[in-house]
Amino acid sequence: MSAPRGQFSTKFGFIMAAAGSAVGLGNIWGFPTQTASNGGAAFVVVYFVLAFLLAYPALMAELVIGRHARANIVTALGGLSDKPAASLFGRFTGFYGVITASLILSFYTIVAGWMICYLAAAGTDLLGQDQATQWLTSMSTERNLLSSAVFAGLTLYIISSGVQDGIEKWSSRLMPALIGLLLLLIAYVLTQKGAMEGLKVYLLPDLSRVFEPTLIVSAMGQAFFSLSLGVGTMLVYGSYLSKEESLPRMGALVTVIDVGIAFTAGLLILPAMFVAQEAGITITDAAGNLIGDSDIVFQVLPPLFDSMGPAGNFVALAFFTLMTIAALTSSISMLEVPVSMTVERFNVSRPVAALVIGGSIFAISCLLIFNFGTLFGFVIDLTTKYSQPLLGVVICLYCGWIFKRHALLKELQEGQEDIAQTLFWKIWPLYVKIICPLLILAAFWLSLG
**Where on the chain is the footprint of ligand PFF (CB under 6 A)?**
21-22, 24-27, 101, 104, 225-226, 228, 231, 233, 330, 333-334
Q: Which is nearer to ligand PFF, 58 or 199 (CB)?
A: 58
Please state the closest distance from residue 83 (CB atom) to ligand PFF, in A.
28
Q: Which is nearer to ligand PFF, 334 or 436 (CB)?
A: 334
Q: At what angle do helices 350-370 and 84-126 cross, to 10 degrees?
A: 70
Q: Which is nearer to ligand PFF, 25 or 119 (CB)?
A: 25
Q: Which is nearer to ligand PFF, 233 or 324 (CB)?
A: 233
Q: Which is nearer to ligand PFF, 55 or 216 (CB)?
A: 55
Please state the closest distance from residue 233 (CB atom) to ligand PFF, in A.
4
Please state the closest distance from residue 11 (CB atom) to ligand PFF, in A.
21
Q: Under a CB-based contact definition with an 8 Å cutoff, are residues 229 and 66 in contact? A: no
Q: What are phi and psi of 295, to 5 degrees?
A: -100, 15
Q: Which is nearer to ligand PFF, 227 or 272 (CB)?
A: 227
Please state the closest distance from residue 330 (CB atom) to ligand PFF, in A.
4
Please state the closest distance from residue 338 (CB atom) to ligand PFF, in A.
11
Q: Under a CB-based contact definition with an 8 Å cutoff, are residues 74 and 94 in contact? A: yes
Please state the closest distance from residue 25 (CB atom) to ligand PFF, in A.
4
Q: Which is nearer to ligand PFF, 121 or 332 (CB)?
A: 332
Please state the closest distance from residue 224 (CB atom) to ligand PFF, in A.
8
Q: Which is nearer to ligand PFF, 220 or 412 (CB)?
A: 220
Q: How far apart are CA 210 and CA 108, in angstroms?
A: 29
Please state the closest distance from residue 67 (CB atom) to ligand PFF, in A.
17
Q: Which is nearer to ligand PFF, 55 or 189 (CB)?
A: 55
Q: How far apart are CA 102 and CA 361, in angstroms?
A: 6
Q: Which is nearer to ligand PFF, 228 or 342 (CB)?
A: 228
Q: Under a CB-based contact definition with an 8 Å cutoff, are residues 139 and 117 in contact? A: no
Q: Under a CB-based contact definition with an 8 Å cutoff, are residues 23 and 264 in contact? A: no
Give bridge partners of residue 284 from the DSSP assignment: 290
Q: Which is nearer to ligand PFF, 51 or 334 (CB)?
A: 334
Please state the closest distance from residue 1 (CB atom) to ligand PFF, in A.
30
What residues contact residue 317 under an 8 Å CB cut-off, 6+ apart?
119, 122, 123, 126
